[in-house]
Structure 1
Amino acid sequence: MAALCRWRHRFKRTLDLRNITRNLSTNYDYDLVVIGGGSGGLACSKEAAQFGKKVAVLDYVEPSPKGTRWGLGGTCVNVGCIPKKLMHQSALLGSAVKDAGKYGWKISSPVTHDWPTMARAVQDHVRSLNWGHRVQLQDKKVTYLNMKGSFVDEHTIRGVTKAGKETVFTAGNIVIATGGRPKYPTHIPGALEHGISSDDIFWLQESPGKTLVVGASYVALECAGFLTGIGLDTAVMVRSIPLRGFDQQMAHLVTDYMESYGTKFFWNSVPKKVEKLQTGGLQVTWAGQDSGHERQDTFDTILWAVGRAPETKALNLESIGVEINKESGKILVAANEATSIPHIYSIGDISEGRPELTPTAIKAGKLLARRLFDKTSELMNYDNVPTTVFTPLEYGCVGLSEEEALVRHGKDNIEVFHAFYKPLEFTVAERDASQCYIKVVCLREGDQRILGLHFTGPNAGEVTQGFALGLQCGATYSQLQETVSIHPTCAEEITKLHISKRSGLDPTVTGC
């Protein structure tokens, strides 16, 4: 024990001397080390390298509890935006095939979907992106280290390979961009043993079959949507509200459409246990929160989509003084992405109060690199960030929800213009458009500045992107009315909004 204490004392003294030496010489191994090879980390590292700086990226992803592995690129590339959108597209094509007969196409029945074919194509594309990121880092002269990183001290990182080999190196500046991973409800018997997460669904080689998705986040609803769309029996278990954090009127339009589309919903329900049957199925027992009455059903796959946890626990942050939110586990950051240690920064999903969105992480990473090495001062603007939920009926939004606008400005100071409309694409196909809806939330007085825009309908992301520029430039309702529309499009319906909620008039569009 005495020998161990002497070793610890010598080790601490060595680190103290090393820190004194560095403070005098600032002779670090790297100008910048980025821990995390996701979208934000890669963007930051490549931008920094353009200024002639010596940069390294550490990226190592622990396999999921089911053993799923993937390559460089982070959540978005491997288990998020990219495979999600491609599988969503597969589902949309299925709907298009159903519509095609109404437009004169003769398609033999039955039309079936083959999961392995889709999965191979999606996974091959993801692997090509993994390789592309490695090539880009090489071209930019960024050192890529397939290692798990943690802090030794404020300027020293320990990297550990899959084989357990350790390397220690130093950096003048360090950016943490490790993102998050799906949570498992480990308090539920059988949840971890018998369930999968979004880390796994995109890498399955065979169809998940009859699937229960537990959760009502955008991850949950998007997965349930494309599973239903490719013809699988799919149900969603919702504890409280859908799409928490989004406008709730729009959220319920999304779930209403999904129900009409074929997705089952178990509302106000919580799972109690998951048991594997001798027949191979998974029996789920759940209870209604109101009645407490228990129900059971059998599924082939249970997909947990109950939130995400930041990947901060293994970084050894507390020992070096980086402050985190004890409740969320996320890193506390200033407007310039700095942590409580001035030369250590945090970007992306692990930062407290930041949107968990790929484009914001990318832009924040680039701006941070410019501030560090190009003497600029521009900060990331997190206001009016647009996003889209890629459910069967897509939902795009930018700015404030109606609920947020009411809280910030008061009911008497808000005007909401809205309309139910029918996409031309839905007419010949005789598709139900009951949930195709638009609303623009504005200030009531003055020039009626637009505070938020919400749209459910085809290509919602493409529609919302353009209007996001308008909000960023301070667009007003009168300017929206002055905008000449492109006809016939769904987006034009936004420029024609003229009925307010306050008026009580029917907001259904009845003609051109």
Structure 2
Amino acid sequence: MFPCLRLSSLCDLHTLQPIISQRSFICQQLVQRYCSSKADQYDLVVIGGGSGGLACSKEAAILGKKVAVLDFVDPSSQGTTWGLGGTCVNVGCIPKKLMHQAAILGHHLKEATSYGWTYPSNEPATHDWSVLVENVTNYIKSLNFGHRTALMDKNVQYINAKGSLLDGNRIMTINKKNEKKQIYADNIVIATGMRPKTIQEVPGMTENSITSDDIFWLNKPPGKTLVIGGSYVALECAGFLSGLGYDTTLMLRSIPLRGFDQQMADLVLRHLEHSGVHIVRGTPKSNTKQKDGRLEVTWQSGSDVYDTVLLAIGREANTKDLGILDIGVDVDQNTGHIVGGYGGESERTSIPNIYAIGDILHGRPELTPVAIQAGKLLARRLYGTSLEAMDYELIPTTVFTPLEYSCAGLSEEEAESRFPDEIEVYHSYYKPLEYSLPHSSSEHCYIKVVCLRQFPHKVIGIHITGPNSGEVLQGFAVAMRTDSLTLQVLQSSVGIHPTTAEELVKLHITKRSGLDPTVSEC
């Protein structure tokens, strides 16, 4: 291309500008690559060190590619930061499930006397928030260390810096010392996830409130807490805070668990109330810090004073300072998520060698296992070992409220919309055996299976509220993915007695029949 010049000696792009035509994009990319230090050239650079990014980077490295991961955590509005591993490890699934378990254990302690357990004194059990947080954060830090070790073992370069795209191959990195450095990649994967939304328009709300980025690292007990929002994060946090003994109020600005089956959402909400969570409906108008440090929150129909206000009103795409708009990466105008699907690839963006996975990708389930699976499969497709694409249908999930809600497939509303007048719903209210001796209320324990009415009555949705429902549903979700799970297969299966899972194979009453779906026999 340049017979009088050797590309390996071209170290000053500025001197080449008269030579390189502005139209010669390929030429510019070649020169930029050869002008970079070889140490700063990668087959793949992943921006984001969460579950999806780590899975993608390690898989690519296993396939023999030179890979780097960029990860940098911007502090929350309250200054909270954390280590490698993303939302799930640090401020999501892992600490949430551990605190959920802490609350469940407290509930079991109250029931233990019905099973013959006695305590040395008549004093009720007490909970120490500081011990819980210390143990949870120590575990999280061990996971952070484990992720760094795993990257080293796979020869993935970990770079603790933010990354912004200069073009389709060049990335500017900026570390905590504000030092800048350019690196080059043949392929780029954006896996920066999401961060909690705040309410900027409400006076005092952002500066005086915490989010899920903060609650799991909170040094002092939260005390009387107001949780604002109807998201699964809001309901889960309200549930475990109340379960740990804190006076907790949930403020709903709209419907709870938007996007989930609304009959099930109503059961979850009613069980939260039954468990001691106060429910108010309204929109906050102000959040004012008083002299004693407590927070007065006002809304349309009232006001109250709290020790902690937790915002859980949803999450937004973490694309700040990525530079994606400047280089032409297409994003959804309403959500800010990166649009995929170009070139027939679900994860490919409008720039051919730039991809997006996980929560940042528009219209995809915002779930850790989804990001992990998508990341692995993308790496295999990029580097020639597989053509398998990510299947985003029939993804199971669980809401870890005090009474867990698990689902896979379509909600009843979605099924009705997609197959009008063609569905049959089988359902039952049931009582877990472990509820019997302490006489616990089971009025919110419910199973619903949505089928196509036409033979062979294919199962297109399963929904359960009940203890350990996530453990129950996983196997049924696998069966649904075979595309051959029908009502007959369910009903002809032998149950494991006595379990909650058994109730799924005993379903026989339809909603249309109008019969009482309450299970009365053992």
TM-score (norm 1): 0.95
Q: Which residue of 2 aligns with 1:291?
A: none
Q: Which residue of 1 aligns with 2:409?
A: 399
- In structure 2, how many angstroms separate the alpha carbons of the residues matched to 1:507 and 1:384? 26
Alpha-carbon shift at residue 280 of structure 1 (Å) = 2.1
Q: Deviations over 1:390-449 (max 9, x none)?
A: 000000000000000000000x21100000000001110111000000000000002000
Check the 8 A contact 2:44/2:186 in 1, yes or no: yes
Percent identity for Structure 1 against Structure 2: 56
Q: Which residue of 2 aligns with 1:159?
A: 173
Q: Which residue of 1 aligns with 2:87?
A: 75
| Stretch moving more, 13-22 or 76-85 | 13-22
Alignment of 1:458-497 (within 5 A): 458-474=467-483, 475-497=485-507
Check the 8 A contact 1:51/1:374 in 2, yes or no: no
Alpha-carbon shift at residue 377 of structure 1 (Å) = 1.0
Alpha-carbon shift at residue 153 of structure 1 (Å) = 1.2
2:130 to 116, 122, 128: 116
Q: Which residue of 1 aligns with 2:389?
A: 379
2:113 to 101, 107, 110: 101
2:161 to 147, 166, 175: 147
Alpha-carbon shift at residue 15 of structure 1 (Å) = 11
- In structure 2, how many angstroms separate the alpha carbons of the residues matched to 1:65 and 1:190? 12
| Alpha-carbon spacing, 1:10–1:424, altered in 2? closer, same or farther (3 Å) | farther
Q: Deviations over 1:463-497 (max 9, x none)?
A: 11111011101210100011110000011000000
| Alpha-carbon spacing, 1:185–1:15, altered in 2? closer, same or farther (3 Å) | farther
Partner amino acid for 1:124? N
Alpha-carbon shift at residue 323 of structure 1 (Å) = 0.4
**Is residue 43 of structure 2 the alignment partner of residue 31 of structure 1?**
yes
- In structure 1, how many angstroms separate the alpha carbons of the residues matched to 2:304 and 2:385? 60
- In structure 1, how many angstroms separate the alpha carbons of the residues matched to 2:27 and 2:385? 26
- In structure 2, how many angstroms separate the alpha carbons of the residues matched to 1:477 and 1:283? 53
**Is residue 101 of structure 2 the alignment partner of residue 89 of structure 1?**
yes
Partner amino acid for 1:237? M
Alignment of 1:172-191 (within 5 A): 172-191=186-205
**Is residue 293 of structure 2 the alignment partner of residue 280 of structure 1?**
yes
- In structure 2, how many angstroms separate the alpha carbons of the residues matched to 1:283 and 1:387? 36
Give the 3-state SS of the residue equivalent to 2:427 in structure 1. strand
- In structure 2, how many angstroms separate the alpha carbons of the residues matched to 1:417 and 1:198? 36
2:249 to 235, 253, 274: 235
Partner amino acid for 1:40? G
2:222 to 208, 212, 230: 208
- In structure 1, how many angstroms separate the alpha carbons of the residues matched to 2:351 and 2:17? 19
- In structure 1, how many angstroms separate the alpha carbons of the residues matched to 2:100 and 2:323? 38
- In structure 2, how many angstroms separate the alpha carbons of the residues matched to 1:210 and 1:374? 55
Alpha-carbon shift at residue 175 of structure 1 (Å) = 0.1
Give the 3-state SS of the residue equivalent to 2:321 in structure 1. helix
Check the 8 A contact 1:213/1:305 in 2, yes or no: yes
- Specify every segment of 5 or more residues in structure 1 that has no aligned partner in the other structure, as ranges: 1-7, 288-293
Alignment of 1:269-418 (within 5 A): 269-287=282-300, 294-334=301-341, 335-410=345-420, 412-418=421-427
Give the 3-state SS of the residue equivalent to 2:270 in structure 1. helix
Alignment of 1:46-65 (within 5 A): 46-65=58-77
| Stretch moving more, 105-114 or 425-434 | 105-114
Check the 8 A contact 2:50/2:87 in 1, yes or no: yes
- In structure 2, how many angstroms separate the alpha carbons of the residues matched to 1:244 and 1:467? 24
Partner amino acid for 1:250? M
Give the 3-state SS of the residue equivalent to 1:319 in structure 2. coil
Q: Which residue of 1 aligns with 2:511?
A: 501
Q: Which residue of 2 aligns with 1:261?
A: 275
Check the 8 A contact 1:156/1:170 in 2, yes or no: yes
- In structure 2, how many angstroms separate the alpha carbons of the residues matched to 1:15 and 1:55? 31
Alpha-carbon shift at residue 320 of structure 1 (Å) = 1.1
- In structure 2, how many angstroms separate the alpha carbons of the residues matched to 1:12 and 1:332? 34
Q: Deviations over 1:168-215 (max 9, x none)?
A: 010000000000100100000000111000000000111110000000
Partner amino acid for 1:203? W
| Alpha-carbon spacing, 1:21–1:425, altered in 2? closer, same or farther (3 Å) | same
Check the 8 A contact 1:26/1:172 in 2, yes or no: no
Alpha-carbon shift at residue 329 of structure 1 (Å) = 0.3
**Is residue 443 of structure 2 the alignment partner of residue 429 of structure 1?**
no
Alpha-carbon shift at residue 22 of structure 1 (Å) = 3.4
| Alpha-carbon spacing, 1:242–1:347, altered in 2? closer, same or farther (3 Å) | same
Check the 8 A contact 1:228/1:263 in 2, yes or no: yes
Q: Deviations over 1:120-179 (max 9, x none)?
A: 000000000000000000000000000000001110001100010111010000000000
Alpha-carbon shift at residue 21 of structure 1 (Å) = 4.7
- In structure 2, how many angstroms separate the alpha carbons of the residues matched to 1:124 and 1:439? 39
| Alpha-carbon spacing, 1:308–1:142, altered in 2? closer, same or farther (3 Å) | same
Give the 3-state SS of the residue equivalent to 1:501 in structure 2. coil
- In structure 2, how many angstroms separate the alpha carbons of the residues matched to 1:154 and 1:492? 53
Alpha-carbon shift at residue 279 of structure 1 (Å) = 2.5
Alpha-carbon shift at residue 9 of structure 1 (Å) = 9.3
Q: Which residue of 2 aligns with 1:4?
A: none
Alpha-carbon shift at residue 23 of structure 1 (Å) = 4.4
TM-score (norm 2): 0.93
Counting matched residue pairs gives 497
